[in-house]
Amino acid sequence: MILCPGCFVDYLLPAIVNQTQEIIRICNECNCIVYQKDGCIKTTNLTTFMEERGLPDLWSELTLLDIGETAEEETYENTKNLFPTIGE
C-alpha cells in the first residue's frame, strides 16, 4: 500500500487509463495521480491529467488493478512496485 503524497490519508491505487493504456496510481481520497513520463515520476491530479489527454476527468475512464498489495505502508518514492507490470 503506497501512501498518497497529496493527502497522506489514503493510498494510491494502481489503475490503467482505458484510452491510453497508461499505468498510473490514483488516490481515492483526493484524486492525486502519480504517473511516469519520459522515465520520470510525476504527480498531478485527475482533472489535469485527463485534460492533458483530452479525456473526461472521470473514474470510469480508469480500470483499477487488483495486484494483491501487502498491507505494509510505503511511500511512492521508496516503493519498488509503483507501476506494476501487467499480463504476467
The helix/strand/coil state of 34 is strand
User: Smallest gap, in angstroms, from Cβ of residue 21 to Zn ion?
Assistant: 24
Size of the site for Zn ion (CB under 5 A): 8
Sign of CA dihedral 67, 74, 38, 17: positive
| Segment contacting Zn ion by CB under 5 A, of 3-11, 34-42, 51-59, 73-81 | 3-11
**Options 3, 6, 26, 61; binder of Zn ion; rule CB under 5 A:** 6
Instruction: Mention every residue, 6+ apart, whose C-beta is less than 8 A from residue 14.
Output: 23, 24, 25, 64, 65, 67, 69, 83, 84
| Segment contacting Zn ion by CB under 5 A, of 2-10, 41-49, 62-70, 71-79 | 2-10
User: Smallest gap, in angstroms, from Cβ of residue 6 to Zn ion?
Assistant: 4
Per the CB < 8 A criterion, the answer to whether 55 and 19 are in contact is yes
Chain-centroid distance of CA 45 in Å reads 10
Q: Which residues between 10 and 69 bind Zn ion (CB under 5 A)?
A: 10, 27, 29-30, 32
| Residues lying near Zn ion in the complex (CB under 5 A) | 4, 6-7, 10, 27, 29-30, 32
